[in-house]
Amino acid sequence: MPVSMTALCDDLAAESAELRAVLAELGESEWRLETPADGWSILDQVSHLAFFDDVALRSATDPEAFTAEKAAMDADGGVSPDTIAERFRSMSGAEMLAWFDEARARLIAGFRDLDPKARVPWFGPPMAAASSLTARIMETWAHGQDVFDTVGAVHPPSGRLRHVAHIGVGARAFSYLAHGLEMPDVPIRVELTAPDGSTWTWGPEDAADRVSGPAEDFALLITQRRHRDDLALTVVGEAATEWVRIGQAFAGEAGTGRKPLS
């Protein structure tokens, strides 16, 4: 079935609305609460989303401007999420929420009519417009999880977890690259139970190495929002065991993961 940009935009809008509902209830001091991401407040989590929404839109609609911006970042030592977060810490919570609203609306409007196969530049290799938008869903879910955890709210699982899992499975090779390791030539079967009870699968059905369990738990693992010990995942085989140890759905440097909750 062809990828639908309309469906992806609708899913991103729905994921954004769930996060926004939590953000809209925050008092000014709560925007400064520390999240499970070391050194990052709720404000930082949201500025990260808004900033890269604007950058993603620029990459798709004005690739020359994006390339120039990336070159300037590279000349200044590369893309640093911490440096970007620091840049916007003087903003109030209300200002940050307004920026997030505006950036997200611009992004969705700009991507809705794009060819899903159109190639757009990024900080790594160029990717399809559909993949770029799927990555925004994954990022929203992952950074939103930190916000939900911080305020003690429930992050309701939905079928949109499939996007997170899909990005995570596809990023297996990058996970090894980020850690300076060579990926073994071993296929892995991933079988996840979706929130509605159906099964999502990736990889050869007869693969000896396997990862299975709840889709939400896999999403938490592959975005490095939970330690494996806190998740109900079954992992079989050396290659699968190594992958779940280093796997990350997000771009950039190798993540440090999270400590066990207990």
Tokens of 123: 């900080």
Residue 196 and residue 166 in one domain: yes
pLDDT in tens, 84-115: 999 999 999 999 999 999 999 999 999 999 99
Q: How far apart are CA 262 and CA 1, in angstroms?
A: 43
Residue 59, Cβ density class (10 Å: 0-12 exposed, 13-18 middle, ≥19 buried): buried
Q: How many helices and strands, by DSSP H and E, does the chain display?
A: 10, 6
Domain count within the chain: 2
Last residue in a domain, options 136, 156, 176: 156
Residue 128 and residue 191 in one domain: no
Going by pLDDT thresholds of 50, 70 and 90, the confidence category of residue 128 is very high
* H or E element that contains 235: strand 234-236
Lowest mean pLDDT across 73-82, 166-175, 224-233: 73-82
Residue 256 lies in a domain: no
Full domain range(s) for residue 103 = 5-156
What is the per-residue pLDDT for 74? 87
What is the per-residue pLDDT for 75? 87
Residue 253 lies in a domain: no
Residue 82 lies in a domain: yes
Residue 152 lies in a domain: yes
Residues 224-232 have a mean pLDDT of 96
Residue 138 and residue 83 in one domain: yes
What is the per-residue pLDDT for 159? 98
Q: Model-level pTM?
A: 0.95
Q: How far apart are CA 205 and CA 98, in angstroms?
A: 46
Going by pLDDT thresholds of 50, 70 and 90, the confidence category of residue 120 is very high
CATH number, position 206: 3.30.1050
Residue 51 lies in a domain: yes
DSSP bridge partners of 120 = 127
Residue 139 and residue 190 in one domain: no
Q: How far apart are CA 233 and CA 110, in angstroms?
A: 37
Residues 240-247 have a mean pLDDT of 97
Residue 18 and residue 142 in one domain: yes
Phi and psi at 189, nearest 5°, equal -95, 130
Q: How far apart are CA 226 and CA 164, in angstroms?
A: 14
Residue 14 lies in a domain: yes
Residue 133 and residue 201 in one domain: no
Give percent helix, percent strand, percent coil of the chain, each to the nearest 5. 55, 10, 35
- Alpha-helical regions (H) of 28-158: 42-61, 63-75, 81-87, 93-111, 129-151
